[in-house]
Amino acid sequence: MDFEQHLERAHQVLLKKGFSGAAINPIIYRLARKVGIKLPPPQFAHFGANILAGTLWFGTLWGVIMWFMQWQSLGVSLSYAVNASLITGMFFGLLMAIWYRISAKRKSVPSWQSLAN
């Protein structure tokens, strides 16, 4: 089974389990797939992959917003802005990874590997 078929089956399983369309296919995961990264839905992804995805998108978005809305006018150094964005993104990524893991367990989501059978 190729990745696209596997992904489609995973989406069907998650919809049957009661997850919403936005929960099973967040924008960062869609963007990752568009650039060629074969990332399963977050309920099936590895904990570390969910942390990384959350860190990258949230840390970057939050950092850019903070830079233009506050930090630039306050004269905040670029190294401080990058570090603050990274730490904030990691915190968000960790919380989201925990949320995805808990929601998958609560709704008895099977493993990614078991869907290939």
**Whose CA is closest to 38, among 74, 1, 63?**
1
pLDDT at res. 42:
96
User: 17: which residues sit within 8 A by CB, 6+ positions away?
Assistant: 107, 108, 109
pLDDT at res. 116:
78
**Taking all residues of the chain, what is their mean pLDDT, rounded to a whole number?**
94
User: Quick one: pLDDT band at residue 87, thresholds 50, 70, 90?
Assistant: very high
Report how far apart, in Å, the C-alpha atoms of 20 and of each of 11, 12, 17, 58, 70 are. 10, 11, 9, 21, 35
pLDDT at res. 50:
96
Strands (E), the chain: none
Mean predicted confidence (pLDDT) in 66-89 = 96
Which contacts of 6-10 are long-range, i.e. CB under 8 A and separated by 24 or more positions? 6/40, 6/112, 6/115, 6/116, 7/33, 7/40, 7/41, 9/115, 10/40, 10/41, 10/44, 10/112, 10/115
pLDDT digits (tens, 9 = 90+) for 22-35: 899 999 999 999 99
Angle separating helix axes 47-66 and 27-34, nearest 10 degrees: 100
pLDDT > 70 in the chain, percent: 100
pLDDT digits (tens, 9 = 90+) for 43-69: 999 999 999 999 999 999 999 999 999
pLDDT at res. 115:
87
Token pair listed for 24:
């099973």
